[in-house]
Amino acid sequence: MPRTIFDREKDKYRKLRILLNGTFESDERDVEDVGTRIGVCGRQVRNYLKNPEKMTLDKLLRLGCVLDVPIEDLRECIRY
C-alpha cells in the first residue's frame, strides 16, 4: 500500500528554501541578473533556489546580499 508523508518538517532546509524563494519572487528579479551578481549562470541560481543544501556558505551569503535578505533571517534558517 502506498504511503503518504503528511509531516514535511523533516526537511531540514524548508525554512531556508521558503525564505529565498519568497524574497526572489517578491523582488521580481531576473535569474540571469542574480546569477551574474553571485558569479554563476541562471540555471545554477534556479538549482540553488530548489536545493539550498547544495549551495556553499559563500554562495548563500552572496545570494542573501543580492536579494537583500537580513543576515539574522539567514542565520535563523541555516541548520548547523
Residue 65 pLDDT: 92
Q: What is the DSSP letter of 40?
A: S
Residue 7 pLDDT: 55
Q: What is the dihedral of CA 66, 50, 79, 75, to 10 degrees?
A: 20
Per the confidence metrics, is the pTM higher than 0.75?
Answer: yes
- Dig out the grid coordinates for 72 from the structure: 539574522
Is the per-residue pLDDT at 70 higher than 80?
Answer: yes
- Tell me how far CA of residue 24 lies from CA of 10, 47, 56, in angstroms: 24, 13, 18
Residue 58 pLDDT: 92
Structural domain span for residue 72: 41-80
Residue 64: inside a domain: yes
- The 10s digit of each residue's pLDDT in 11-56 is 788 889 999 999 998 888 889 999 999 999 999 999 999 998 888 9
Total domains, the chain: 1
Residue 47: inside a domain: yes
Residue 43 pLDDT: 93
